Amino acid sequence: MKSLTVVKRNGREEPFELSKLVKSVHAALNAAGLNDASLTSVMDDVLNSVFNEPDKVPSSKISDFVEKAFITRVVEDPRYEVAGRYYLLARIYNDVFGKGKWSSFDPDDLRLTYYALRVLMSRYLRKDPNSGRFLETPKALFERVARFVASAEKPESREYWFNEFLRLMKELRFIPNSPTLMNAGTKLGILSACFVLPVRDAMVTPENDGIYDAVRAQAIIFQQGGGCGFNFSELRPEGDVVASTAGVASGPLSFMKLFDVNTEVVKQGGRRRGANMGVLHVWHPDIKKFIKAKSGEGKDAVLQNFNISVGMYDYFMKALNEGKPVPLINPRKTSLDKTHNSLKYAVVWARHYMDEEWVQEVIIDELEMNGGSIPLENSLIITWDEALAIAEAEGAIVAWEDPKAIFEEIVKNAWESGDPGLLFIDTINRRHPTWYLGKINATNPCVSGETRVLTPKGWRTAREVWEEAKKHGVEVKTVVADEKVLGEGGEPIAYETTLVAPVGESAVRGIAENKELKLKIVAPQKAWVWYVGRKPALKVVTKEGYEVTVTYEHRFLTPEGWKEARELRPGDAIALARMHPEYVGRALTSTIKLDSDVAFALGWLVGNGALSKDYVAWHFKSGDGAAFERVKQAIAKLGGNSDGNAVLDKAELTLKFGSGTSAYKKVVELIGEIPPYQHRRRLPEIAWKLDLESLKSFLRGLFTANGATGFDDAIRLTNASSDLLKDVQILLTTIGIFSEIYSKPHDRKFSYATANDEVKVYEASEYYELTISNYSRHIFTELVGFESLEKTTELKLSKAESDPVWVSVERVEDAGVVDFYDFTVPEVHAYIAAGLIHHNCGEEPLLEWEACNLGSINLEKYVTSDGRIDWVGLGKDVEVAVRFLDNVIDVARFLLPQIEERVRRTRKVGLGVMGWAHMLVKLGIPYDSVDAVYLAYHLAEWIAYNAYRASLKLAIEKGPFPAWNSKLYKMFWSDALPLEEIFKASGVSGNISSEVKKLVFERPSVNWRELESEVRAKGLRNAAVLSIAPTGTVSIIGGTSSSIEPIFALAFTRVVTVGTFIEVNPLFLEALRLYGLDNPEVVGVVAESGSVRGNPFIPKKLREVFPTAHDIEPIWHILHQAAWQQWVDAGVSKTINMRAEATVEDVRKAYMTAWVVGCKGITVYRDKSKTQQVIYFGAKLTKKMSREGKELEEPQVKERVIRKSEEAEHEVEPKQVRKDLSRYRITRYVLKEGESGECPTCEY
């Protein structure tokens, strides 16, 4: 034996010790239940590899040789996989805990397969950046993720949700996408998998959404583990004019190559290379070049970091069937405002058709709200019909083409290379829940600087809130206002503050006719504020007297949802912020508390008193004795001498104190000054900042001084100042009181005689009354009341009809140009100002810049030991998973402010599935059967139902997503196609078995109508909840089949960026054992092809239940995708696998069928249509290596016999068996990084 030196990871060298190696190998084999004979065999292979190395060999390489020896024997005995698992875990534990410092493995870590552990080691487990040692075990990884995601919860419930999230992950029932596993709880913090980036028709733009802006954003996203999707349809076609340079455009394809090169040079987070989805719509003049981009000379050479798809429309597919031509349109020439701003290119934003009834309703509503006319750029929808008319009028149509010729190019190139796929744009938009966001341009709703906004410190002006937030310097780095919507002098930086916002409703008692009055529950909420600058303004005035000055885009809550100020019309109802006093008292945490007598005295002073630079005085009339005594007590508490300052003048008694008295000084200190003239009076600043009890006393003093009860039992407050009454009206909403203000004109002139008998004529101005009626009188009596027996006695409260929670718009008028301030309340997305409810501000509702947080439920885990489905357990775990994904939005760090704004605006999450094929195997259902599609349809519905119930519960608990609109939100399930229609459209028929019907019958019932009613009333936390993406390495971690795909191959060499694995499907091995066929010879035969479907020597039941991807006809792939798509609000990403001998006609048929059955898109992959692919079938890889001159191990040849089985259709004699694979071994072979990809754009 030659001398060998082992090099440790820290660089230390030591002699090779055989005994240490034997000990570690023996321990792993022994744990797996393998005997000493196995030890000898394994050590022979390991030592052969070791001593073929140079004199110095890294210790990690020796470990790799051991693992290789274990895993290459899995086809002989599955226990070798267990040995590999133990050996690999020991390597991790030695790093984390230290050699000799641990005694056993955590049972949760032992759930993971060798292949899962290998993936975790290579990509997910945290390592010391210097030594390369692992810093966490697999369970510790799951704990890190669960702890970080649970930190979004309230402190008292974090531990509970930590344990729930951990349970799902450690039991492999749910696993989030790769960025969350890699980055949660680390410095990176990017937790989303995929991002949609805009590419405008400009090199760069002030909004950072031009071509090179997108390149920069792509690089940042790739650096930290995300994938990107781009729509290049806004770019002008090749050869089009570029006015700024007098040159010609190079077209979308040239720029796509730029993005492709950018991908090539940026490694994702140091762990994987990025990938992209590129889309060009079928109307674009460069569509033919796009279709051919990855075929012919471009095959395996051009855009290798892109999957590409054609944006396909219904009009095209119908023209294809009818033989009518279709237009190719230059998007630049369809500009709505004749500029080169591609946000205004009509054809880019066109969707839906004029003959759709719901579209007509939307357009009619818009026209009615806008006086019969609305610019297209301000409309929610630009239809294809309108965009085409614009294109024809502006000469934008480059050519009319035969759709058949274009479609033939698509299917031919897809057959050749797998690209392009199709995205059915109209199907996507038709089932898009928040469709109304797709056409809204940048908005910036704000309130004027003098508007009173409710905060924990009371009612404060918007300007005051901003100035204090800025002064304290709490700048919110991640919140940047869009500069393009700032006014003159505006500042884009937001500052953190706190507002009191509506978070729910609570009923009050005592309403007549059993009607329920609900008042707003309010609570302090974190918010952001920034100064928008000077902008044109509108004043919204209600018939009841409430008014506020806002920007044109400012949104108010109406019975039909949120509506902009410029859309309001006389008679429209907007929400009044009538607050529940119990909750207001808790929310006003930093207000001023006064002695109740002092607060009463200040209220009386405002109502019937005077304060000048010389004196302060309170005036009383007959019947005010109780009030007089209470004010005297207040003066005494302020340090004044109340007994010596009373003056009786005719019928009026006055308490008066000069400027030198203590009482005067204290009053001035508290309230400043009061205008001497009644018609100019306003509430003193202190009144806005009183705590609830002090406010009640202040109002009691004011109403006793100036208030009365009338003939109609209403309570009235009279004053010459309408502004004062408007102030009081706002304060009354704080305690849930509805009020109205009326003007009451006096006789314009009257005369009176002076003491000298001189007659003078006095011109009087009108006066005003604030009235409180109906149930609000009860609230007033209970909380405020009169300090007067006479007035109290006059109150008649027998009638208790409910009063409004809405007020009516009287007019909306121009208010010139004023200063504006903007607020965003990230949790509840609404706030209270001027007594009204206002929408969360600072939003730009565009679909671009959005990201999605993905995670998958492992369906295999919900098959019970007796072959049933745990429907209840699945439903509960779906709810936990949705909460997990929603929390990810709150704890994630965002790379770009645009992304954070968009993500938080809609809070989209994407719960998907994996293990579908394995679930079918465990249930004994063939993938390519009507039974499987039937079960898929009803299983998908159950997951969707529970996911949406979870989002509803979160909305009730935490508030709906900011862009929620009860009227416009589209319940995606309302358009779900019945399964019978899908079967009919596909031409597939068959009877559902009684066994599968029984499985579905055991599912608890769903009530979509009831759910929709609740959602309309209370909202959703997430605009979209479901998305089925290719799970890739996540399904390897879960030890299950990928996404909703069939089993790719029963035995294969998998080539991924983290290494090369030999895999034999564990369920298949288990099935072979049940049939007594679990010997190396049989497995070797299967591994040769990766399939058993065409093997007559394998039992029929196994051949039916274990079809592989290329055994299955394309129609079954499409039916599975369609069945799941009906109950998924976002996309279902699935590969339609085809055998190598599939024809162009097969691809054509698949594309047409996918459109008819309601798929949102389709991607086909014909075997061998790409030079590199991520999975190679079994022993075929060995042959490939042999052809390429790679070194192969010489197999030992033996005869093999397949054991007899009761269900085997044939018995095989030894002479019938091939003799070249008695010992099946696949030599290690790794393709270069970036040369393979199983839908790398979406795989997470």
Instruction: Tell me which residues are annotated as active site.
Output: 444, 841, 843
Structure tokens at 155: 């402190």
Helices first, then strands: H and E counts in the chain? 40, 45
10 Å CB burial of residue 939 (0-12, 13-18, 19+) is buried
Query: How far is the C-alpha of 333 from the C-alpha of 285, rounded, in Å?
Result: 12
Q: How far apart are CA 204 and CA 187, in angstroms?
A: 30
Angle in degrees, 0-180, between the axes of helices 1114-1125 and 979-986, rounded to the nearest 10:
150
HSE-CB at 703 with a 13 A cutoff on CA atoms is 29
Ordered strands of the 707-709 beta sheet: 707-709, 715-719, 767-772, 740-744
Expressed in percent and rounded to 5, the helix, strand and coil fractions of the chain are 40, 20, 40
CA distance 1039 to 1060: 16
Q: Distance between CA 1229 and CA 1182 in Å, rounded?
A: 9
3-state SS assignment for residue 987: coil
Closest by CA to 497, choosing from 474, 478, 521, 481, is: 474
Asked if 796 contacts 713 with a C-beta cutoff of 8 angstroms, the reply is: yes
Measure the CA angle with vertex 733, ends 731 and 738; round to 5°. 120
Query: 572 is written with which tokens?
Result: 């429209």
Angle CA(727)–CA(558)–CA(961) in degrees, nearest 5? 105
Distance CA 1051, CA 1066 (A): 10
- Cα–Cα distance measured from residue 725 to residue 705, given in angstroms and rounded to the nearest whole number: 14
> Of 919, 901, 806, whose CA–CA distance to 856 is shortest?
919
- Residue 525 CA to residue 900 CA, distance in Å, equals 19
Backbone angles phi, psi at 15, to 5 degrees: -65, 145
Q: What are phi and psi of 591, to 5 degrees?
A: -90, 180
- Residues with Cβ < 8 Å from 1176, sequence gap 6 or more? 1052, 1053, 1055, 1184
Cα–Cα distance between 701 and 719 in angstroms, integer?
14
Compute the C-alpha angle 1049/1238/1067, nearest 5°: 30
Measure Cα distances from 468 to 91, 472, 474, 533, 1046 in Å: 56, 6, 10, 17, 60
Residue 54 CB coordination number (10 Å): 7
Amino acid identity of residue 171, one-letter, is E
User: Are 280 and 307 a contacting pair, CB within 8 Å?
Assistant: no
Find out whether 51 and 2 touch, Cβ atoms under 8 Å.
yes
With beta carbons less than 8 A apart as the criterion, state whether 201 and 332 touch.
Answer: yes
Judged by DSSP in three states, 312 sits in strand
Closest CA to 284 of 239, 320, 248: 239
Q: What are phi and psi of 695, to 5 degrees?
A: -60, -40
Q: How many whole angstroms separate alpha carbon 1105 and alpha carbon 925? A: 6
- Which residues lie closer than 8 Å to 364 by C-beta, 6 or more apart? none
Side-chain half-sphere CA neighbours of 597 within 13 A? 13
Is 691:588 a contact under the CB 8 Å cutoff?
A: yes
Q: Please give the Cα distance from 497 to 160 (Å, whole number).
A: 30
